[in-house]
Structure 1
Amino acid sequence: MAIHVVMEPPVSAGKNASEGAVFVRDGFYFFGFIAPLLWMLWHRLWVLAAVTFAVTLALGAVGEWSGLIAAVPLLSLLISLYVGLEGGALRVAALRRAGWRQWGVIEADTIEAAELRYLYAADDVAEEKLSAPMTIAPTAAPRQPPSGAALGLLHYPGRN
């Protein structure tokens, strides 16, 4: 089973959170490994693509200047391997910087099954909010987000 991180758009986007949710699969991104720059541009990771391109050019220049031209393809392979392994975490981090919030993590075989599980869970949460009595606590302490599991090298906080 694959693990999908569900990211909901900011409230200012004008969409219902469940309609605009993005599902980011945790796993190896083969196309991100084969063509990291194209993969990053496809997923609108503009700054990361520019930094990757600059680092690749710098590695080539340093390799040419120092006479270690044989090491340049190996270093480029490391960049490709990183993008292939951490592609999902890079997308989640970019969405979070854009103001998206993490709804949670869903385990499902396919993206369609993950979407169904998310829609059912979001519907249950909406029903709970409607049926719960309205109470106001004058001295309610701020809710601390629980610490969640980490996928890849970047840490994902728990459901907010």
Structure 2
Amino acid sequence: MASYLILTPPGATDRSEVSDRYRDGTRFIRDGFSWKAFVFPALWMLYHRLWLHAVAAILLQGLALELMRQPGFFAAGVAILLGVHVLAALEGRHALSQRLIDRGWKMENLVSTHDLATAEEIHFSEIEQEPRQDIHSKNWDISPNNSNTSHPGPHFGLLGYDGGR
């Protein structure tokens, strides 16, 4: 099952006012391995306007090809080349979503489903319902309610655990 990160552009209308599903420019970015980015990492990054990532990939690929030509460094060149391809395939979509968020896009939702059509259906069916409350950690009220005075406040992984049984 795949996860789709749903981003809306800056200045988009409120979710409850959107009637046409594509009018607001919503982007669905699948989280997972990208075969296109694996086969053509630099071209994939250029297509998605990840300029610095593409330049880094081109430089590393050139370095790897030059190492492969040198006697005794073939394995190192192959390792660098394979590393660039795997890194682009695994982290390319994250870099794309982060670039959009840095440019003011808002992370609207995260949907886990088998395909894009179902993710669109789930997301846009929620628009007609009442908007959900923002669930980011800045809105969580975690007050220290434990009696352990040596470590006041919440503990890593065990919120409010005071050590007793």
Query: Does the alignment reach a TM-score above 0.5?
Result: yes
In the alignment, is residue 109 of structure 1 matched against residue 100 of structure 2? no
Unaligned runs of 5+ in 2: 15-20, 139-165
Q: Partners in 2 of 1:61 and 1:16 — Cα distance?
A: 51
Q: Comparing 57-66 with 77-86, which one deviates more in the overlay?
A: 57-66
Q: Residue 82 of structure 2 aligns to which amino acid in structure 1?
A: L
> Counterpart of 2:73 in 1: which secondary structure?
coil
Q: Residue 136 of structure 2 aligns to which amino acid in structure 1?
A: P
In the alignment, is residue 46 of structure 1 matched against residue 37 of structure 2? no
Give the alignment of 1:6-155 within 5 angstroms: 6-11=6-11, 15-16=12-13, 19-61=24-66, 68-125=73-130, 145-146=136-137
- Give 1:145 deviation, angstroms: 2.3
For the pair shown, the structure with the greater C-alpha radius of gyration is 2
Which one has a larger percent helix, Structure 1 or Structure 2?
A: 1
TM-score of the pair, normalised by structure 2 = 0.66
1:14-48 deviation digits (Å, cap 9, x = unpaired): x5476211011111101111111111122222221
Q: Partners in 2 of 1:71 and 1:62 — Cα distance?
A: 7
- Give 1:9 deviation, angstroms: 0.6
Q: Partners in 1 of 2:10 and 2:58 — Cα distance?
A: 30
Unaligned runs of 5+ in 1: 130-142, 148-160
> Counterpart of 1:125 in 2: which secondary structure?
coil
Q: Which residue of 2 aligns with 1:3?
A: 3
Report the CA distance shift for 1:26/1:48 in structure 2 as closer, same or farther (over 3 A): same
- Give 1:58 deviation, angstroms: 3.6
> Counterpart of 2:130 in 1: which secondary structure?
helix
Aligned length: 130
